[in-house]
Amino acid sequence: MIYNVTRSRTGKPKVVVPSSTGGDRPQRARHLISLIDEALYRRGVFKRLGLRKKVKAVALMPVNYEKARDVFLEHINREGLPLLNELILEYGGPSIRAVFDVLRDGSAHPVAFYCTAGKDRTGIIAMLVLSVLGVAREDILNDYVLSDNVYEEMGDKNAMVGAMQQEKLDPETFLRAPRHVMEQTMELLDERWGGPEAYLASIGVDKEQIEELRRALCE
């Protein structure tokens, strides 16, 4: 089941809806939900550039796309995974709510959720779910860092390093899952939204839905 995004005039996601509804739900369904796409990533990074870098990127875009892209990549490589997680939380609210709609439906269980690397978008969802289930922050951080060397353990690191370098991304930054990344993300949740549960409330996941999630996962 593919979920479509309805956007505001500014391009920010407003709501995520399944492309097909009605009829009997299959016993097992695959839900394809995008938490962030390249356009939103670019928009979020552009917002965070200094004025001179913004002017440079805008001036270069029509005449030399690669050089304009390098302006973004310099910022992306410097800020790393904490920036990616921040943008997922900032722009991915409707999609995160859609994921929670699936997870709190006990009739759909068991549920597996994953992404390309299995640590960034997946890590955000896992952190939010574990947080509202009452799992200790230390245990959530310990769970996250289990993915830190996953590519090496799978024997897939060289291929992924090559893919990262081709995109001019720093493999040492983007193929890892160091503790400080999720620590910064959880601190951001506290400072900007008042914690994971308050963040979920801000995107439309209310207390009753969180209780449904707890029943579906814990009872």
Q: CA-to-CA distance for 81 and 218, rounded, in angstroms? A: 31
From first to last of the 219 residues of the chain, give the pLDDT tens digit: 667 777 777 667 777 777 765 455 555 788 888 898 888 888 999 999 999 999 999 999 999 999 999 999 999 999 999 999 999 999 999 999 999 999 999 988 888 998 888 899 999 999 999 999 999 999 999 999 999 887 777 777 777 787 778 788 898 888 899 999 999 999 999 999 999 999 999 999 999 999 999 999 998
Annotated catalytic residue 115:
yes
- What is this structure's pTM? 0.87
∠ CA 157-127-6, rounded to 5° = 90
Scanning the structure block, which residue is given the tokens 């060289």?
Answer: 158
Residue 69 to residues 61, 63, 64, 72, 162, Cα–Cα distance (Å) = 8, 12, 9, 5, 19
List the catalytic residue out of 68, 115, 164, 217.
Answer: 115
Q: CA-to-CA distance for 109 and 98, rounded, in angstroms? A: 15
CATH number for the domain formed by residue range(s) 36-218: 3.90.190.10
